[in-house]
Amino acid sequence: MHQRAKGVVLCADDKPAASSALALLIANRPIISHVLEGLASAGVEEVAIVASAEGIAQIRPVVEADAEAPTPSYLVRRGQGLLALLAAAAAFVGNAPCVLQRGDGVAGPPPTRFIDLLRAQRPDLMVLTHRGPDDCERLDRALARLPGGAAIARGPRLGLAGLCALGPGAFALLCGPHSPRQAAGASARSAAPSTPESDLGAILNRLAAGGGSLQVERLGAWHRYRGRTLDLIEMNRIVLDRMPWEADIPEPGDNRIEGRVRIEPGAQISASVVVGPTVIGAHARIIASAIGPYTSVGPRAHIEGSEVSSSIILEGARIMYVGERIEDSMIGGGARITRDLALPRAMRLHVPGGSEVSLP
């Protein structure tokens, strides 16, 4: 009988904005919901979120409001740094195989085979990488210290994704200091502010010091939110690429629907083209428009006589006869973007905070 795989979502930043970021919407659902679903798709059977008490107070209502999200446990982190994060999760993980992931990033496609590889090959650490700029230098240095890592470090320059997988029993190797000198240094570092990104890099170093075994696997995509609208657009792309084909798309009528499109209950589409991957929220209205690909349209949004692609349109936004394609944009909830055809002609914008619109 195999051990139940555990997942731990790391939320180390105490700033309110960091926890609030996990509630930002991509593909019409909070980032944290997609993180939890991705772990479940990877074979994780139990998941916990590690955060400060204040962070959990912000995150829990967001998760509980999403009926489709897996139900996690909540573990209070006391103190700062890697040791505090690990200590909070130690009893939860025990000797089970485990996936650690930062809470503000998404991976695609979900790493469905990693848990099976952990059980079969039993490495202490499975490093998940992606071709990108994040942490490349630190990844190269840390890999060079691990058995078999030097050859990997000399290969293509890879970024450290914000998730990694630990084999059965490997979590205990991380939780304890490897020498009195290292213990003193670790205690000093744990008192300093830390981020999940630096903590995941430190996991490589601690396992290297303990002689842990290594396996490297490549993710198809990884991106995390750094406070920019373009981060959300890219994360929206990754999540929409994970979206399954819908079995019950309504009859197209006078529309053309291409590719993976999810149309939620109450949405009305007429005389339009919708290209997937795209999600149309509940009670949205799409009239004489071209939507997608890589677009999420929020509940009760209204788009008429317009073209929108690679964008996030939030709940209740209205886009009417704009005349130019809207692309790589985020339109906030309740925003109004219309073109006045009467003289003198003008573009009329009502854009709430958080929106980003670029006009030619």
User: pTM for this one?
Assistant: 0.84
Domains and CATH numbers, the chain: 6-227 (3.90.550.10), 243-350 (2.160.10.10)
CA pair distance 299, 281, nearest whole angstrom: 4
Calculated CA dihedral for residues 180, 182, 186, 189, nearest 10 degrees: 120
Contact assessment for residue 314 and residue 300, using Cβ atoms and an 8 Å cutoff: no
pLDDT at 137: 47
pLDDT at 190: 38
pLDDT at 299: 97
pLDDT at 174: 72
203-206 long-range Cβ contacts below 8 angstroms, 24+ apart:
203/82, 203/100, 203/125, 203/164, 203/174, 204/125, 204/127, 204/139, 204/142, 204/143, 204/145, 204/146, 204/160, 205/142, 205/145, 206/82, 206/173, 206/174, 206/178
Q: Which of the residues in the chain have pLDDT under 70?
A: 1-2, 12-18, 82, 110-114, 117-121, 132-158, 175-205, 207-208, 210-212, 246-250, 340-360
pLDDT at 270: 95
